[in-house]
Chain A
Amino acid sequence: MKKINVNDTTLFLSFAAVILLMPIWLSPFGAAYPDLLQKFAIYGIFAIGFNILFGLTGYLSFGHAAFLGVGSYAAVWSFKLFTMNVLPAVAFGIFFAGLLALAIGFLSLRRSGIYFSILTLAFAQMSYNLAYSVLTPITNGETGLQLTSNDPRWIDAMYKTPEAGLPSTELFGLTMNGYPGFYFCAVILIICFYISLRIFRSPFGLTLRGIKTNQKRMKYTGFNTRPYMLAAFVISGMYAGLAGSLLAITDPLAGAERMQWTASGEVVLMTILGGVGTLVGPMLGAGLIKYFENIFSSFNSGTLHEVFSFLPDGLEVVVVKVTGLFVGSGWHLTLGLLFMIVVIFLPGGIVEGVQKLARLFRPKTDDDPQAPAPQKQAAE
């Protein structure tokens, strides 16, 4: 494995530093406010977990949003029933998402290739439809699950007198919004990254990569591939559940739209944009997409007119009209285009792109801190 191992500690430490210092180095980009930083961290966890499945095994799940949603619901229920402390909420989120992943994975992994993708998609749509209809007592349907003033909160009720208004989430007294909320998410993200790093470097991780490259050979080598796949699927489902519970912690409500398949598509995009199968790629992709979503959505025709006010009048109107398609509520159009552009021109994602560039400038290097970006090959 070349010199990679020497660099793993450095990689981990620099990752941790970059994440923890985000409030500082992101401020010139206008992104250093807690709400957005929390999103970076949460979706980073989601994408890192997704990458453990898609990046290592090559199995493309189109249903991971279901686990995100379940994590959110479980966390909000923990707030409603037990306590506003975030730790049980996180634990419940991970647990129930893992349970659902176990069930869905057990069935879906009986097939591979596009059948696997369609099965996961079908299960996620099923969860979504159920959350909107019969499961309304649990999910509160279209309104979404929220805290109310007459929630029991049994544990909190035992030693605290409820204050007026809705309580906020807390970690042993520390309120989980604003920067404390971000740092809580960031610490969890760093732990998640460490776990992912260890999985990548473990025999288990190597086995998963073997399955991605040649499942047939794995079987004739004596590996029972299905439990390995299931373990990877459940782990990535738990990551998604964790991300979902964190979403509920930073903003205690959960809605079914979180489980929609476009949400599953978004995490796929994050992963491939950054670089499938690389360690930092998914985090990079998640950060970029949430950053641009934030910027692009905030534009409206007023701000566009300001931006392009230097242009001559006639031209300005046209430019504003065209760019207006891509910003504000048109952000999804940009997202779709980005999706296509990445898949067409940069299937290895940004990390591979950077590596290619680096190789251009330094023709003879073999100390890239990244695992070699996997090459695409026909899945069947």
Chain B
Amino acid sequence: MDAILIQILNGVDKGAAYALIALGLTLVFGTLGIVNFAHGALFMLGAFCSVTFNKLLTLSVKVKDEGVTLFEAFKEEPYLKIWFGDTGLAIIDYSVPLSILMAIPVMILVGYVMERGLIQHFYKRAHADQILVTFGLAIVLQEIVKATFGANPIPQPPPEIVAGSANVGLWLGLGESVVYPWWRLIYLVFSGAVIFAVFAFLQFTTYGMVVRAGMRDRETVGLLGINIEKRFTIVFALAAVVAGVAGVMYTPILPPDFHMGMDFLVLSFVVVVVGGMGSLGGAVAAGFLLGIVQSFASMNEVKEIFPGIDQIIIYLVAVAILLVRPRGLLGRTGVMED
């Protein structure tokens, strides 16, 4: 029981990231009809928003080190500490969650520029062309990040107060063996909130209603005289923001590097396929499901029976789904079933 719970917990945080990326991917596919291979790069850009924000907060100046009296010594001191003292240090400590404030406008801007500048010209082109051009864009974005931040992962610490682990086992009366890092718990709650917000937006606003109608039947909605194009831009920006904040909050779990976007993209595509192309609920469900499945496959007991299974399990599931139930777990019949 404990072991199962541990595996589930280990799986869900990765699953949450898959779900958030896949959500935007499937939203963009469902409404805009675009297969966006650069969506993983948006996740990566979000993560690097966090890195940048942290760098901005810790901008430092050389000051005289008063602690050393024997000779004249200097140390780096962040401006924030000089200006605000302990409050400044606290702000730096919270740089990861605070960087969401920066990530949201940045990702809106990125999404807007990407859609207006590139994607909109590909609405009427073949899926193959969309794949190719966004693939190129993904390479460009990751290489720019590599040139700016270097090739090595840059660790981002979570705030001091949640650096430890939560004793989840005790809460559930399972003994002390089940512990789970606080930050991962926060990530789960956070992604739940984001998913809820996206669904609420689509469900309860007129904007969202049009978007959902567009996912069902784009042409008719266009015929109703609704300015679809403008809404497309907003949908795309929304997807970018979701991927971006998912990336920001993931940085304490996985130190960001330039190719994390590509790594997550391939898996997120698999998630979308398993969930059903264009199905939002499917993307979320499949994201968590695959995260957990992967976590179980990496148990030693399983690996002993099927060596290497942890490396390929997600792909195996996807292949099986595509061959047996091409519309995916929750996909509608007739959507891209061929």
Taking beta carbons and an 8 Å cutoff, which residues of A are in contact with B? 58, 60, 62, 107, 110-115, 117-119, 121-123, 125-126, 129-130, 132-135, 261-262, 265, 268-269, 272, 325, 330, 332-333, 335-340, 343-344, 347, 376-380
Query: Given A325-B144, A380-B338, 17 more contacts at CB 8 Å?
Result: A62-B131, A110-B322, A111-B323, A111-B338, A113-B338, A117-B127, A122-B315, A122-B319, A129-B308, A134-B311, A269-B136, A333-B147, A336-B139, A337-B140, A340-B133, A376-B126, A378-B124
Are A336 and B136 in contact, with the CB atoms below 8 A? yes
Are A344 and B121 in contact, with the CB atoms below 8 A? yes
Are A134 and B326 in contact, with the CB atoms below 8 A? no
Interface centre among A62, A122, A133 (most CB of B within 10 A): A122
**What residues of B have a CB within 8 angstroms of the CB of A134 in the complex?**
307-308, 311
CB distance from A274 to the nearest CB of B (A): 14
**Which residues of B (39-67) have their CB < 8 Å from a CB of A?**
none
The 5 closest A-B pairs by CB, nearest first: A339-B136, A336-B139, A134-B308, A333-B143, A129-B311
The closest CB in chain B to the CB of A334 belongs to: B143
**What residues of A have a CB within 8 angstroms of the CB of B270 in the complex?**
118, 122
**What residues of A have a CB within 8 angstroms of the CB of B323 in the complex?**
107, 110-111
**What residues of A have a CB within 8 angstroms of the CB of B133 in the complex?**
339-340, 343-344
B137, B139, B307, B316: the one contacting A126 at CB < 8 Å is B316
Interface size on B, residues (CB 8 A): 39
**What residues of B have a CB within 8 angstroms of the CB of A336 in the complex?**
136-140, 143
Interface centre among B128, B311, B322 (most CB of A within 10 A): B128
CB distance from B335 to the nearest CB of A (A): 11
The closest CB in chain A to the CB of B129 belongs to: A343
**A-contact bits for B117-132, CB 8 A (1 contact / 0 none):** 0100100111111011
B266 within 8 A of A: yes
Are B138 and A126 in contact, with the CB atoms below 8 A? no
Taking beta carbons and an 8 Å cutoff, which residues of B are in contact with A? 35, 118, 121, 124-129, 131-133, 135-140, 143-144, 147, 262, 266, 269-270, 273, 307-308, 311-312, 315-316, 318-319, 322-323, 326, 336, 338
Are B319 and A123 in contact, with the CB atoms below 8 A? yes
Are B336 and A133 in contact, with the CB atoms below 8 A? no
Are B140 and A115 in contact, with the CB atoms below 8 A? no
A63–B235 Cα distance when bound, in Å, is 30
Are B147 and A343 in contact, with the CB atoms below 8 A? no
The closest CB in chain A to the CB of B326 belongs to: A111
B118, B127, B135, B319: the one contacting A339 at CB < 8 Å is B135
A366–B326 Cα distance when bound, in Å, is 45
Are B121 and A129 in contact, with the CB atoms below 8 A? no
Are B147 and A339 in contact, with the CB atoms below 8 A? no
A58, A261, A272, A378: the one contacting B132 at CB < 8 Å is A272
The closest CB in chain B to the CB of A129 belongs to: B311
CB distance from B255 to the nearest CB of A (A): 20
CB distance from B333 to the nearest CB of A (A): 15
A312–B121 Cα distance when bound, in Å, is 40
**What residues of A have a CB within 8 angstroms of the CB of B143 in the complex?**
330, 332-333, 336
The closest CB in chain B to the CB of A112 belongs to: B338
A26–B135 Cα distance when bound, in Å, is 31
A123, A126, A337: the one contacting B136 at CB < 8 Å is A337
Are B311 and A133 in contact, with the CB atoms below 8 A? yes
